[in-house]
Structure 1
């Protein structure tokens, strides 16, 4: 028992205060904004204006407890079980597609219901797959740098996972998974020319997917000029842009958004940032972007320190987790501002949703664990 306790004990080091502080502030802002952005839709659907806020608070508590447990698990445990994680991630993506098990919402079969709660499988699956790639990259650097085979093996599983994600469909999750995996493999020594060839092939496949699907083509057309069809395909984006525009410099104030009053759909999920920008304006939006930038900056610093200390798995995990959070935040904000087509990706640590919030808490716990394991121990002062 004492051996297990010693193994699970946290290293005696000072955590990265900037990273931890930014994560806490972002999560608190997200909780407040879910409460503010969802009052109208919650009242219409349930009769309880704070319904989604209460549920998000419960998800946050579950996420914190789970993150606390993960924070105490040494990275060598995850490194030793990367193949198990790979299998688990792929199984989740297959199971959700089985009729009667997977649940469809708005035409997308991405959830598995567990009574009163449901799990969006792409969230834990991506975490498992990125940890697998980090483990592979830490073991196979020579093969990655010298042969196609070294790059083909992990990318085969990423392409397979992406194919399963596209069947749901969840194009945004697939794009982020492949991008993060490619970045980790590049850092591990994979040749840039090989990655560019794979990237070109992926780009060609995306073009074919868009051209072969009227649904995706309509999304792209509406994104390019949403004002051409403001009450049809461009409705969601035009309402989002109106919300952001109303915020101006200082915002209209917390709770004073007009667009959340059933004008803008998905106010507490995919388009939470638009309501935040309306209520807190340009100043608040820039502050939020700075907070996300601090998390990514500190994450990359932690990753570099781990690699310099020859803790390759820890370094690749830190880079992968940071890149995932950065890309998802960028895509969500860009979609809200009309810079990218709608992707259905949440704003990390902020948008309503139990699966997203809990997995993001685990992501942050892994990043903090890398930080703790790669820092110098605190030296005791002589008494």
Structure 2
């Protein structure tokens, strides 16, 4: 039976869970909490007088994120498919809202956040989640057009362009690049005609390059990325300190809590550059374990998506493909930035970096992936929602 028809309620676990996926998520969450405590101690004491200020806030975000992920896990995928158009409208509304002075909070010349009391909500995080659901719904409804015509591919790309333009107005170049990358991945897996697909990818890549070189601060960031030591006392300081941290880690690291770069040398040490502190304290061994854990999460996410696709639940499959791709791509870009392989993007390391918006959104998307896994397993048992509640 098609488990997408299963109703609301708390899903039971008698069908089992994906142990590899859940184990990797748990290790990343706990390791991230430890790293936030270690990386932020000097910054927290300087700003608040409490060296564990960010640790306790991250613990709170983790608890809220766990609850949010569980709620997402309880909602049938069919409900998300029915709500996809409203989610697209919600994404546009939130992106417009964050640009309004007095509502959107401006930090470092970027207006990306909305103050919701407990934390600053970064609009791009829930927006990307909503848009991935919308694109998955489009692929499910119009897959034949997508696979046979130029229009079938152009329509979702054009629909995503408006949110991308609003993201660039914040500006948030990193979130825009991630969104486009994930959308094109989903369209490729959805069977888009290769020559049309390559034309759109080339156009999007050229557009991103033009946008990157159009703003002076982005050009300066590119130059600093290529040679941070040329202006190490100013614009190249952050990347240089990150590279020093990574280099100090060597094979096994200097030990948990023994980082020097976190002592106010490396800016954003507990958010965008927490990977550099992890590399310093755990070395190449720690980096290898971290990459393996993210690899497991992405591998299991794609395996769950493939199972749903083979069972005929295409919407669930494409949502799962998109969310897994987003998680893996963002983690890869963050690590590359920390090691000087890509220009600074302002992207967090999922499940590891400090921040309410990022952690809550990642917990939500993991809840959706686990929901798809649950429906896969229920379908394998031939169980409907009514039977499952008995």
TM-score by length of 2: 0.94
Deviates more, 1:320-329 or 1:100-109: 100-109
Cα deviations by residue, 1:262-310 (Å, 9 ceiling, x for unpaired): 0000000000000001011110110010000000111111111111111
- Please point out which of 195, 198, 209 is paired with 1:196: 198
The Cα shift of 1:7 comes to 3.0
Aligned to 2:304: 302
Per-residue CA shift, 1:70-98, capped at 9, x if unaligned?
11111111011100111101111111001
Name the structure 2 match of 1:253. Answer: 255
Q: How does 1:65-214 map to 2 (within 5 A)?
A: 65-214=67-216
Question: Which of 334, 337, 360 matches 2:336?
Answer: 334
The yes-or-no answer on 1:377 pairing with 2:381 is yes
Q: 1:378 to 1:156 in 2, by over 3 A?
A: closer
Contact 1:269 1:351 survives alignment (8 Å): yes
In structure 2, distance between residues paired with 1:116 and 1:320:
29
- For 1:187 and 1:225, locate their aligned partners in 2 and report how far apart those are by CA, in whole Å: 37
Between stretches 187-196 and 93-102, larger displacement belongs to 187-196
Do 1:303 and 1:316's aligned partners in 2 also have CA atoms closer than 8 Å? yes
Unmatched tracts of structure 2, length 5 or more: 1-5, 384-390
The alpha-carbon deviation at position 210 of structure 1 amounts to 2.5
| Aligned twin of 2:10 | 9
Deviations 1:36-89 (A, max 9, x none): 000000000010000000100000000001111111111111011100111101
C-alpha displacement at 1:116, in angstroms?
Answer: 4.2
TM-score by length of 1: 0.96
Please give the alpha-carbon distance, in whole angstroms, between the structure 2 residues aligned to 1:184 and 1:127: 13
Residue-pair matches, total: 376
Give the CA deviation at 1:194. Answer: 1.3
- Distance in 2, Cα, partners of 1:192 & 1:352: 39
Cα 1:357–1:164 shift into 2, 3 Å: same
Aligned to 1:292: 294
Q: 2:7, 2:76 within 8 Å by CA — same for their partners in 1?
A: no
User: Would the aligned equivalents of 1:23 and 1:295 in 2 still touch at CA under 8 Å?
Assistant: yes
Match of 2:242 among 216, 240, 260: 240
Cα contact 1:13–1:378 (8 A) shared by 2: no
SS in 1 for 2:299: helix
